[in-house]
Structure 1
Amino acid sequence: MKHECESCCALRKELVQLQEASELRATQDHDQCVAMFQQMQELVRLNEAVARGRNRSESRVSIGEVEELDRPDVEVEKSATQVQRLQAIVVQQAKEIETLRRRQRDVIADGRVGLGTADRVGNQVDDQILLRSTLVEDTGATDTGSDDDEDRDEAHYRPAAKKHASQLRKLPLSSLHAQLKGKELKLLHCQQLIAKLEARLEQLIDRKRSMAQSYQHTTRTQQAHLKKYLAYIRQQTTEKKALERQVRELKQYVDVLEKKVVNSLQVSSRNGHEITSTILSDAI
């Protein structure tokens, strides 16, 4: 009986220790799960911010905002917005380059005008008619390379062209050479500007490509972290369920042992009473 009581005490102590260890482990698991859940929420908010920035469209972008993209401390949340800005800048620069190319063609056509010959200018109809009318009145010749559309335009603008031609003939040759020189300088400036814009456009395209690659890499990394966190949470949940099941089994085991101890104590007390009553009856 004494040995059984010692066993029960040892079992009870072991049960208390197991319960305390289980509660401590459950508390730690709960804290870890809460921390992981908070990290997951932060990652979800980060993904939502990146998605909103990627879907946000901006109509116009200033040069200051373009230069801001070159700073090394650009945050990951601004990467999608920067991609949109770069796209707008690329479109704007392409339009400017196309405009400058048209102006360059116009200036080249104007610069080819000489004393005895004239070339057609693509977009400046007034200058074309003026110069060609001047050559017609000076030499009595006509340009045979005009098509039907240009003939109709010349017929429409011929009176004004004749008036301008008469005024132009009164100017000295030095003035005409000065005009040609100015147009050549303007052409050179346009060519330099076009070269700079093309170089800047290439830089922006490279920048856009690198930003897109960085965004994709960041997205893949975040997805991998989310998968790892979810797997860890599932593992912790499984371990927690296993510990709870062990605690329930230990409680059932302790309840059975307590019932056995109580029954043994009751049987021992009854046997003691019987023995005492027998001894008393024999003594009488």
Structure 2
Amino acid sequence: MTPASSVLLLTTLTGFGYGLLAWLGLFAAARALPVSPWFVPVGVIVALACASGGLLASTLHLGRPERAWRAFSQWRSSWLSREGVASMLTYPPALIFAGLWFLLGPDALATRLVGLVAAAMGIGTVYCTAMIYASLKPIRQWHNPHTAPDYLIFAAFSGAMLLAALIGIWTGQARGAGLIAVLAAIAAGVAKLAYWRFIDAQKPLATLASATGLSAFGTVRPLDQPHFTENYILREMGYQIARKHAAKLRRLILVLAFGAPGILALLATIGVVPMASAPLAVVLAAVGLFVERWLFFAEATHVSTIYYGRAV
């Protein structure tokens, strides 16, 4: 599939935003956040800014952005619509959570309960985003048991990195949040390796022989190409990336998205300049996850391209 920058920003930024919101709610319930009355309001603003940036960027991928509101009406059947509805429903509990933290303080039961509701809504929105891709049966690299869990793991990872950075800047140390970020980086790296191993071992969804019902006659190939010029299917669904380039990008992702941020988060955890190491980990994780999202789309092969001689 052709990697669209708007969708890459959507899946990267919303992961950071809703991931951070989820960790804020969980840490607030565990009373593990700084007790400053401004910490959660600032954290919620950062989380919603990231999520909103991603959602606004996604509208650039629409042919008629002014009609985007119509997507909300299809929530019974469309994961895209459910994502939109869930994202909007996340704002009220998130803002109420910030207001209760400021007005009633971190120890109030209402504050912690609403924080958990906001966390659940953030996680639910990420799941809806993941299911947009995991539900597409014609694309084997997406329609598999890894896609939805990986989206949730990457949101947890990026949100943990962002939380560690906020706490590091706010307090000068990021012990608990930093340790969570390190563990999340390991989990995300392992999950990505498992995903790559799975799609590399997958058999093609179909071949020209199976699609035409001529498997009994052996290899089937077209006498003429369906089109002699590029068309919509080849432009949008027939993107190809060389195997050697994909291998290089995979190594880059492991280092840039997970390895380096994990090491920096570990340094922040043990007190090595957490005010600098934790924010730098966020920057590297953001760049690395953007590349990871690009490769996620670039490696996807739609079954319709089989008629153009592409392996799916």
TM-score, L = length of structure 1: 0.24
Rg (Cα) greater in structure: 1
- Could you state the TM-score of these two structures normalised by the residue count of structure 2? 0.23
**Structure 1 or 2: more helix by fraction:** 1
Higher RCO (Cα < 8 Å, 6 or more apart)? 1
